[in-house]
Structure 1
Amino acid sequence: MSTLIRPPPVNPSQSAIENLLELTQLHDIDPDLFTNRRPLWHPPGARGIYGGAAIAQTLSAAQKTVPPEFTVHSMHCYFVLAGNSDIPIIYHVERVRSGKSFVTRTVQARQRGKVIFTTTISFVRQNSGGERLVKHAVEKPPVPDAVEGMDDIDQDRSTERPFQSQRIEIYNDDSPHPHTKKCRQWIKARGTISPAGGHEAHLAALAYMSDSYFVGTIARVHKLWRFGSSSKANIKSNIDDKVLKKLLAMSDSDLKRIGFLDKHEIELIRKVKNGEPVEAESSSEQNTEEKPEVGMMVSLDHAIYFHDPRGFRADEWMFAEMETPWAGDGRGLVFQKIFSSDGRLIATCVQEGLVRLKQSTDTPRESKL
């Protein structure tokens, strides 16, 4: 069973993301124990549940143990084991410190007695910085506005996700230097977050969405082939097979319109459809005949710094810009800045992930960290 307690009916007064992230507090066992109220999503091809769910639900659990005048300003997370969507998760909040200006909570997510995810979260008392403040913030870059009603996942699947996203063209995509590129997208929670959810619901929603395409930035800036074999008959993908089949059936003009793929991915899809070989781009580091392929990509840790935790709405379009300063030794680092649509920097995120290429000597086996 994927939940400890039978899920209640969907609350129509709440948004999809609020319903998904609801927790049940296990008062009779321990007031600092919580569990997921609804089943969690296991993305196709992923090793476990969507990481954003663990990030958001640990934040939600911690927020329920903190006085209302305190607001989260940072959280530092580690993905320890892949979460199983068929097993309930128990969240244990440890009240590490409750001071006058700052409150600290550590939350562990457990399945079958093992820690699968852990985070330390810091909260700050509202307006504790004083009347005179040191202030500055980077500006949102000039980009096309989000288009209402559009999503970068095809419409047959869009309602499965509790948020919408629209990728826009990679900045500096033609550069030979991956660290100079920036991957960009618009994101927002689907529907309207209820007034009863308060600012806590918007923070949990942002935390959930912050893991969207995050470590995947490394594959995108290196233009790595993510769709498996160059043979159409034997094609294998790390995305949903149904989506891949639809991509292969689309015309080039339709592929460009949906915004799901980058320019080079559209060209690779075209080659696969036509039975042409998918070759590596010429460079000093890519001199093999076949294009390098992602063999394993897993998030290792995730940090969020909330800059304006009560001054934004997660159900309004937010702009996210991601860049990677370094990759090597089977890992990569990505920075993400999230802005409100009117240009305010509302959060900065950092993630390190395991990024391994498929080796020519690889044989099918279960991947383990």
Structure 2
Amino acid sequence: MATLIKPGPPDPSKSSIESNLFTNTRPLWHPPGARGIYGGAVIAQCLSAAQRTVPENFTVHSMHCYFVLAGNADIPIIYHVERVREGKSFATRTVQARQRGKPIFTTTMSFVRENSGGKQLVEHASEMPDIAGPVDEEQDLRSPQGSDGPFQSQRIDILNHDSASPHEKKTRQWVKARGRISPSGGHQAHLSALAYMSDSYFIGTVARVHRLWRYAAPRNADGSKATAMIDDDVVKKLRSMDDDTLARMQGMDADVIDEVRKLKLDNNNNNDGDAKASTAAAAPRPEVGMMVSLDHTIYFHNPREFRADEWLFTEMESPWAGDGRGLVFQRIFTREGKLVASCVQEGVVRLKQPADSKL
């Protein structure tokens, strides 16, 4: 993140001009098959830009975002910070991310002055569920953005996965930033990293609790989306891989991999595994036709009491889906069980429609 307008040396005879324009210095990640850049990157960079315009003793406590247009990874993004309010206890910032002169993302953030709540406080917090800690062995980690991606994750089995009610299921994972965040970034760097990771598999929770097919669609030579297919040959190839190789696969939906693992287990217990694989591959199962985020909200609860480069536990659930949209709630805890953030996201979740259907 770099400012576009660098302030000159102070001149007491002139009024100060504050720098409110920022841009990214590196291309942002475009997930395979996605309509645009990874939303968490824009969220994090908007937060980073806004944090540079508030006093050091002010910390973000809420962030309300809207995804307007798909971002292009090949074009720099201009982040314009508007200083909406400067209060004694609270400050408000609005950031608009623009490409080609058009807004692709907008967010409003509220910052609170540290220790402004007084000596006597009203306090309570949800407790972290009793869950096994992360396994630190490298082979058990996922790198959603490739081996050089900025964060790592470790999936945990979906709670109540066999329930017939999607709203009863909870998807869970451990996440952390790769490597060690430099002390020079201060607490702001950890907040930006958490904001970045908060978008990981977020609206995808709806697809997972409904057990929808979801995997990156291939592209034709002209860049258009090709027909997404998974056939017997693909399933057989996946079944031939060991679990470590499956865990490292990029761009393949976790539920597809889970299904393959189940097929492998069936094959170990039944010599008719190939028939089962063929049946599973051909069985009619709803497929995601479109899934994009519409909005994203983060409430930061203990913004200076966690490290994003240490394991954080996330739990997501979807209380509702309908009318082509889905809603997901997320809670983020430290490994020690402290609730550090609550997030909400709504997104478009449309099924692939039959060829003869008309909307």
> 1:211: which partner in 2?
199
Give the C-alpha shift of residue 313 in structure 1. Answer: 0.3
> 1:47: which partner in 2?
35
CA spacing shift, 1:136–1:198, aligned 2, 3 Å: same
> 1:277: which partner in 2?
279
**Do residues 153 (structure 1) and 167 (structure 2) align?**
no
Alpha-carbon distance in 1 for matches of 2:333, 2:55: 27
Which of the residues 182, 185, 188 maps onto 1:194?
182
Partner SS state of residue 323, structure 1: strand
Alpha-carbon distance in 1 for matches of 2:131, 2:329: 18
CA spacing shift, 1:60–1:181, aligned 2, 3 Å: same
Which one-letter code corresponds to 2:241 in the other structure?
M
1:96-111 aligned within 5 A: 96-111=84-99
CA spacing shift, 1:269–1:162, aligned 2, 3 Å: farther
Which of the residues 145, 153, 166 maps onto 1:178?
166
> 2:260: which partner in 1?
266
**Do residues 79 (structure 1) and 64 (structure 2) align?**
no
For structure 1, the 5+ residue unaligned runs are: 1-21, 236-243, 281-288, 364-369
**Do residues 316 (structure 1) and 310 (structure 2) align?**
yes
For structure 2, the 5+ residue unaligned runs are: 8-16, 216-227, 265-272
Alpha-carbon distance in 2 for matches of 1:84, 1:183: 30
Q: Normalized against structure 2, the TM-score is what? A: 0.83
Which one-letter code corresponds to 2:151 in the other structure?
F
User: Could you give the per-residue CA deviations for residues 310-367 of structure 1, whole angstroms, max 9, x where no partner exists?
Assistant: 000000000000000000000000000000000000000000010000011179xxxx
Alpha-carbon distance in 1 for matches of 2:185, 2:172: 28
Higher-Rg member (1/2): 2
Aligned residues with identical type, % of pairs:
65
> 1:23: which partner in 2?
2
Contact 1:36 1:90 in 2 (8 A): yes
Q: How many residues align?
A: 323
Give the C-alpha shift of residue 226 in structure 1. Answer: 1.8
**Do residues 304 (structure 1) and 298 (structure 2) align?**
yes
CA spacing shift, 1:197–1:154, aligned 2, 3 Å: closer
Alpha-carbon distance in 2 for matches of 1:246, 1:229: 14
Which of the residues 89, 109, 130 maps onto 1:142?
130
Which one-letter code corresponds to 1:226 in the other structure?
R
Give the C-alpha shift of residue 249 in structure 1. Answer: 4.4
Q: Which moved more, 1:139-148 or 1:25-34?
A: 25-34
Q: Normalized against structure 1, the TM-score is what? A: 0.81
User: Could you give the per-residue CA deviations for residues 285-325 of structure 1, whole angstroms, max 9, x where no partner exists?
Assistant: xxxx6111011100000000000000000000000000000
Contact 1:151 1:158 in 2 (8 A): no
Contact 1:230 1:277 in 2 (8 A): no
Q: CA RMSD in A?
A: 2.7
Contact 2:143 2:149 in 1 (8 A): no
